[in-house]
Structure 1
Amino acid sequence: MALRSCLRRWRLGPSRRFFFGLVALFLLCEATWGEATAPRLVVVLPEAICPRGSSVFLGEYASLEGEQELVDRASLAPLSLSGGKLTRGQVVAALQDQGLAGIPVRLQMPTSVTLGQEDPLEGRIRRAAHWPWRVAARPDRPVDPATPLPPGLRSGMRSVSLNVATSEEPARFVRVVLRWYQPQVVAKSPLRKGETIRREDVFLRLGIQDTYRLLAHSFQQVEGKVLRIPVKAGVPVAMEVLVRDEVVHAGNQVVLSSVVGSVAVEAKGRALEQGAVGDTIRVRNLDTRQIVSGVVIGPGRVEILQKEDGGV
């Protein structure tokens, strides 16, 4: 109606009205088409990357923007690298493997991305921390990749200081900012204490490990496990919030072991507490009826530490 009134106001003849009507309709359709095909995910790759190995995740080296769910899925798109280059076809196939076929995606990358060797400093830090995924290391000034690493290096550190002292500068340090990439299991919705985690309760994404807490990185680590404390939606699931696998339960008969000098001694006992491997629990020696403390070393086995009420 608005278009018709405008055409009448301009006092155009029937033929011109028809022509301008077609133009307006074309522009309207063009705008609608542009909105319908607007990218829901943008993937940007540089001209060259230096991967940590021949099998990596897209999110370790690409910049991803768009709808968060799509970004999370695309971040874990697997890339198999060989031949010294990464092609657009490989990236598209990896996105399809993540169930993103048919999603409007803008892929900004050259015809092929050149593959180099892993950054020496990043590789040394990753291996020293026994980290299987990428560690991005950004020193605040150029540094020799062979510079000694600080003791106590561990995953989750946000930065480290490298000692680059020389005879002229005996106390000179370079700060290196670290980003620890890792697949993470994340809660889709709030999870309650005591709740058993199901596959549909969580999802996987590639995130940044910025804590010393050990985070779950696969569905197998959390599926069927019980939560010790609540977990908020969107928060990675830490291994410490899961009820551990108890291999000894209160009332179970167990084997008590102890080493006296060079002699190993075993006896029958009964657990008074439950425990996982590494836990210290109380047990009763069934021969002497005495209560002793020991460390759970396996299913039904406890290594004696000390007695609690006398006796051997």
Structure 2
Amino acid sequence: MVSSNAGRRVLLRARLCRIIVSMIAVSVLSFSAEALELSVEIKSGAVVPSGPIRLKDVAYVACDSPEILTGSSSAILRPSGNTITPEDVVTALTQAGIGGVSLRLVMADNVPFRRENDIERWLRNYSGWTGALEVESDGFPQGGRLVPPDSLYPGAKAINLRFDVAGAEQIYPARLRWLLPAVVADSYLRKGVYIKNTDLAIAAIEVRRNRKYYDDPKDLVGMTVERDMAKGDPFTVRITEEPELIRTGDLIRLLYRSGSLLVSTSGRAMDRGALGDRIKVRNDRTRKIVFGIVTGPGTVEVSE
């Protein structure tokens, strides 16, 4: 829980300088050397949909604990008006039950954000999008009625919006930015490395079509990355892979299951595989090549 002294310390810093970098004690444990650091950075100009504002909708959130990262990023902000203050952040974390960490807060003393406008809300609901949608255009007609587009898919970069103005149709080109909180890299990651809990953060990202993003950091720990990643790059299923438990040529343990009977023997992997993969193996005793499921490090189960 955030102490009253800690809250006053944050507010004092906010009054003294435009940009603050503060360490806030959110429990008695936060003064110990073992306390985890929770880092929150908020910049101005975020667009948020109607409804509750989560911290991850407007902030870059990082913590070495996936559980604290998930819980803190989902904390609900309740700002007064269209600006967020350090006190709003501290209050949100307190109400979310975040404790046992030191908070590093990087933000201005008042950070403006924008609620979606009527056109953005209409298009977001029409497309079924659950995140935020930012529509950029040179302007729209006053009093015009938006005509439903023939199709609108999340991730589309642009659209020609049609308006019915006094019975005449007018077309206005618009640029679209589809925003969604997702797990991102908190540091540079080289291709092939295993993902650790210290490599993860959550932030709102611009979504591309036909991409599946991660929203739970726990799902990524232990996976490998298939290409180099810069800080802030979002993790997608295209660039992550379950870690290989078996490589081609490895000496492995073969388990043969037949009903309640389980027989173990040695074998050789003919393929590589992660947990749950179906790979080709060779039984060292019979020299027979069979297929089995990777059930653990160096272990393949064959059903007969």
Q: TM-score, normalised by structure 2?
A: 0.49
- Name the structure, 1 or 2, with higher relative contact order (CA <8 Å, separation 6+): 2
Larger Rg: 1
When you count strand as a share of all residues, which structure comes out higher? 2
Q: TM-score, normalised by structure 1?
A: 0.48
